[in-house]
Amino acid sequence: MISRRAFSAGLLACLGGCATHHESGPSSDLPDIGAGYRPDPKSDEAGLWLKLDKVEQNQRRSPGRIRDKPINDLVQDMVCRLAGAYCPDLRPYVIRVPAFNATCAPNGMISIWSGLLLRCHSESQLAAVLGHEIGHYLKRHSLQRLRNSRELDDFAAFFQFQLQGPAAGLIRGLSQDITQASKSMFSRDHEREADALGLALMADAGYAPAACADIWRHIKAEDAAGGESERFDFFLSTHPATTERIDNLDELARRRPPAARPAPDRLNAALGPLRRSFMADEINQGHFKRTDNLLTRLIGDGIDPGGALFYRGELYRRRNRDGDEAIALGNYHDACETADPPAEAFRGVGTIRWRRGETELAREYFRRYLRVAPNADDGDMIRKYLSGA
Amino acid sequence: MIRLVSLLLLLLAAGCTPYRLIPAGKVEFTDHGSVETPIDWNWRPIDTVHTWTLDGPNLQEMLFHLGIEDGKTLMNALDVESGFNPLLVWFGKVPDEVSFRFHKRMTEHEIMDLFTASMSKITESPVVASGLMPADLGGHQGFRFDYAFVGKDEVRRRGFAVGAVVKDKLYLIHYVGTALYHYDRNRADAERVAASFVFAGKD
Amino acid sequence: MCRWCRLVAAFLLAGLAGCATQSYRTIDALPRGAAAPRILVMPPDIELSELTAGGSVEMNAEWTRAAERHLKTAIREHLQRIQASFVEYRAPADDAPEAEILDQLQPLHATVGQSILAFHFEPQKRLPSKKDKFDWSLGPAVTHLAGHADADYALFVWVRDSYSSPARVALQFVAAMAGGIPVGGGVQTGLCSLVDLKTGQVVWFNALKPREEGDMRELEATRRTTAFLLDRMPK
C-alpha cells in the first residue's frame, strides 16, 4: 500500500511510526514469491487469497471501476514492463476513489485509485508507484502484515478489556497508539524495502528514477498545505518519515546510471478527459488548501492547465469568502485562454458575471459556451439566460 | 473523519425513529408550504429535512429541503465548520475542510453543483447531475435536473430534483430510487407531489 | 477447537440462542399448470468468518468453501425432496449484453432483503402505508433472469456466519465473570426469497434471526440451517 496517510484510524500504517532508526534490511522472513505462485490450500494464506479473489471479483465488475481502454491498456503494459516474468500473475485495476493510494494484494490484484493518477505528472511517476507495489508483492509484505496485525488486535482487545475506571479511556487510547506504532514500525521496514525494489524495477525498465522522490515531494507539499505537518503526534507524525523517504529515494536515484533506452511518457494521452473528472471528484472532498496546492502545481507544471484552472476557479467559487469570487473569475478567464479550455470555463465566467448583474458580459460567455458545447444538456437553461427573461 | 462518523451516527439514529403515515391528500409543511399527494407515503424527519418513502429509504426516497437560508448547508450535519473545536479556531488552527453552502446570489448551475457536492458527501460516492433546465416550483421560476450514483451497496440509483430560490431562500425537492425498479415505479407520483407545491402565505 | 468454542458461547449467551426463523408469504403454493414451475437457484451468497479477540472479522477460505458446497448440496436435496423442478444459475460472460442487469439483481436483492428485515419484521417499525401487507418486489428486470434460465421463480439465499477464535471465546468468558460486558460471539444471520420471475414480486421471504449456533462448516448442520431457511417455502 502506498497511501501516506490514514483514511481510517486503523489503517494508519504506512509511513507513520515512532523513531525506528535501524537501517533497512530485508525485513521479510518469508522466501520471495516465485512466478506463477499459488498458496498451499490448507494455509491461512489460502484463506486470504480466497477472500481477495472475492474482493477482486466484485472489483472487476464494480460500477466504481474505470473501464476506459487507454488507461487500462497503459497500466497493464507498464506492469508487464516492470514485472517481467511476473506479469501474468499481476492484474491492475483502476478504481474511482479520490484519494492518493494504490494497493497490491498477495493474490496479485493491484488497485490504482483515481486520486493517485491525478497526482502523477508523468508515466515515470506512475511507474514509481507501480514499481513500489510490485515490490510489496514480490516480498509478500501484506501477508506478513495481516498475520502480524491479527496478533496485535488480539493483544489490544485484552488490554482494553481489563481496564476500567477513570483512567481507562486514556490508557485505552494509549494501547491503540502502541498497537498502531508497532504496526507502523513493522510496515516502515516494508515501505523502505518496497521503495528500493520499486526504484530498481522502474529504472531497469527505462523510467526516470528521480520520479520516485518527486511524487513524495508532491504529497509532502500537499500535507504541509493542509496543515498536516503542524499536528503534533508523538507516534504517528508522518512528516519526518516522508522527508527521510525522499532523501533515501534521491540517494538511490543518484546512484543509477542514465537509462540506455528511456521509456516513453504516455500518461497524459492515456488519461485524456478522465483527468478532469478526477479533478471534479477531488474538489468534492471539501479540502480547500490541499486541493488548491494540488491544482496550482498542475497548472505550474502544465498538466492540463485548462482543466486545472477551471477547477481551481470552482474551488474558490464554492468557498465564497471575501475576494474568492474575483479569484474564481480570474481562473475561469485564464482557463478560457488555454489551448484546450473546458466548455464549462466559459459558463463559469458567464455565471459569475450573471450573479454580479453584468448581464451583457455574461451573455457573451454563455454564447461562447454554447458554441463550444452546442449539445450541452443544460442548453435550455443557458438559452433562458440569453432570451432576456 | 470525525464529522463523517457523526453524520453516519445521525443517520443511524434517525433509523430508529419509526415512520409515520402521510395519507393521500394535502400535506402542510409548517411555515414553508404544502403539497398534494395522490398516494400514501411514510414520513420521517432527519436533521432539517423531511423524508418520505414507500419501501424504505434505500429503495426509494423523496426529500424536502425547505427554506435554506443564505450561508447554510443543505443539512445541518453537513456543516463541518460548526464542529470545529473553538480553542483550535481561536489559535487559528482549523482543519482543512470547507462546507458546501447555499448563497442567495447563486445561479441555477451553482445550486446544482452545491447539490451534487453535498450528496457526494452523504452517499460517499460520486453523484453526477445532468439535464439542468428551467422549471417552475410553486409558481416561481426555478430549475430541475436529474442525478445518478451507485451506492455503497453497489446498487445503481437515479433521481430528479426541482427547486427555486424565493425571498433569498432555497427550496429543493428531490426523489431518488433504485435504477432497476423503484425509481421508475413511483416517479410519476413524485413528479405530481413536486408539481403541486404551493408556498405558504399564498392564496 | 470450535465445537468447544461454540459450546461455551452458547452456554454464556443461552438467553439469546434458540432456533428462530420468521417467514412471510403471499402465496401458499406455487401455481401448477401442465408443467411444474421451474425454480432458478441463484448462487448462495455466503461468507464464513472468524471473529478475532480484537473484533476484526476475517473470512476463512476453507470454511467458506465447505459451507458453499454444503449449502448448495443441502438446497439441492431440499428441492429434490419437495420434488421441485429447478435449475442452477450460470453467470453470463463479462461482456454479455444482459450481464449488467443480472449483476445488479444480486445486490438489489440484498438491499430489498435488508429493507424487509428493517421494515417488516418488527411490527412497530413497519411502514404504515403498507398497511401490514407483505408487498416487496425486485421489479420487472427479473424477466431477464427468466429468459436467461427459462425459469418461473428465482430462489436467492444470503448467509453471513462468524465463529469465535479461541482468544475471543476466552474473552467472552472473562467478560461474563467480571460482571457482564457483552462481548458478542459468532453469529449466524441469513435470509432467502422466492421471487416471481414474471413480476419481480417476492412471493415468500424467510429470515434466520441472528443466532449463535448452526455450524455450516459441517454438512449435517448446514442441512439443519437450510431446513430452517427453506422449510416453509411454498411448494
| A64–B150 CB contact, under 8 Å | yes
Which pLDDT value is given to residue A1?
Answer: 55
Nearest-CB residue to A157 (from C54, C99, C103): C54
3-state secondary structure A90-121: CEEEEECCCCCCEEECCCCEEEEEHHHHHHCC
Which pLDDT value is given to residue A309?
Answer: 98
| A287–B96 CB contact, under 8 Å | yes
Residue B22, all three cell numbers: 402521510
Which pLDDT value is given to residue B125?
Answer: 84
Q: Are B34 and B24 in contact (CB under 8 A)?
A: no
Interface test with C, best of A50, A53, A162 (most C CBs within 10 A): A50
Which pLDDT value is given to residue B82?
Answer: 86
Q: Which of A38-42, A345-349, B106-110, C77-81 has the lowest mean pLDDT?
A: A38-42
Residue A195, all three cell numbers: 521503495
Kindly give the parts of chain A with pLDDT less than 50: 3-28, 152, 154-183, 230-239
Which pLDDT value is given to residue C122?
Answer: 81
**Strands C57-59 and C153-164, bridge-based pairing:** unpaired
pLDDT in tens, B53-84: 999 999 999 999 999 999 999 998 899 888 88
Which pLDDT value is given to residue A186?
Answer: 52
List CB contacts (< 8 A) between A47 and chain C: 58-62
Nearest-CB residue to C171 (from A42, A46, A158): A158
| A283–B117 CB contact, under 8 Å | yes
What count of other Cβ atoms lies within 10 Å of the Cβ of residue B203?
3
Look up the ipTM and state it: 0.86
State the number of CA atoms in the 13 A half-sphere of C72 facing the CB: 12
Structural Rg of chain A based on CA atoms: 24
Which pLDDT value is given to residue A145?
Answer: 64
Residue of C3 and B52 predicted with greater confidence? B52
Domain boundaries, chain B: 2-83+97-199
Q: Are C203 and C26 in contact (CB under 8 A)?
A: yes
pTM: 0.80
pLDDT in tens, B160-181: 999 999 999 999 999 999 999 9
Residue ranges of A 90-149 with Cβ closer than 8 A to chain C: none
CATH number (3.30.70.100, 3.40.1000.10, 2.40.30.10, 3.40.50.300) of B2-83+97-199 reads 3.40.1000.10
Please tell me the distance from the alpha carbon of residue A49 to that of residue A40, in angstroms, as a whole number: 10
With bands split at pLDDT 50, 70 and 90, how would you rate the model's confidence at B99? very high
Is A50 in CB contact (< 8 Å) with chain C?
Answer: yes
- pLDDT at B199 exceeding the cut of 70: yes
Residue of C208 and B43 predicted with greater confidence? B43
Nearest residue on chain C to B156, alpha-carbon basis: C104
| A50–C174 CB contact, under 8 Å | no
> In Å, what is the CA distance from A261 to each residue of A204, A257, C28?
10, 12, 74
Nearest residue on chain B to C201, alpha-carbon basis: B181
Which pLDDT value is given to residue B47?
Answer: 87
Q: In the CATH scheme, what is the code of domain A275-386? A: 1.25.40.10
Domain boundaries, chain A: 9-254, 275-386
| A378–B109 CB contact, under 8 Å | yes
Closest Cα in chain B, distance from residue C82 (Å): 32
Which pLDDT value is given to residue C1?
Answer: 37
| A381–B101 CB contact, under 8 Å | no
| C107–B180 CB contact, under 8 Å | no
Q: Measured at the alpha carbon of residue C69, what is the angle toward residues C230 and A106, in degrees to the nearest 5? A: 130
List CB contacts (< 8 A) between B150 and chain C: none
Assign A288 to helix, strand or coil: coil
Domain boundaries, chain C: 2-230
- pLDDT at C196 exceeding the cut of 50: yes
Which pLDDT value is given to residue A93?
Answer: 94
Rounded to the nearest integer, the mean pLDDT of chain B is 89
Interface test with A, best of B3, B78, B85, B96 (most A CBs within 10 A): B96
| A281–B126 CB contact, under 8 Å | yes
Nearest residue on chain C to B150, alpha-carbon basis: C104
Residue ranges of B 54-113 with Cβ closer than 8 A to chain A: 80, 93, 95-101, 103, 105-110, 113
pLDDT in tens, C95-105: 777 788 888 89
- pLDDT at C184 exceeding the cut of 60: no
Which pLDDT value is given to residue C112?
Answer: 94
- pLDDT at C25 exceeding the cut of 90: no
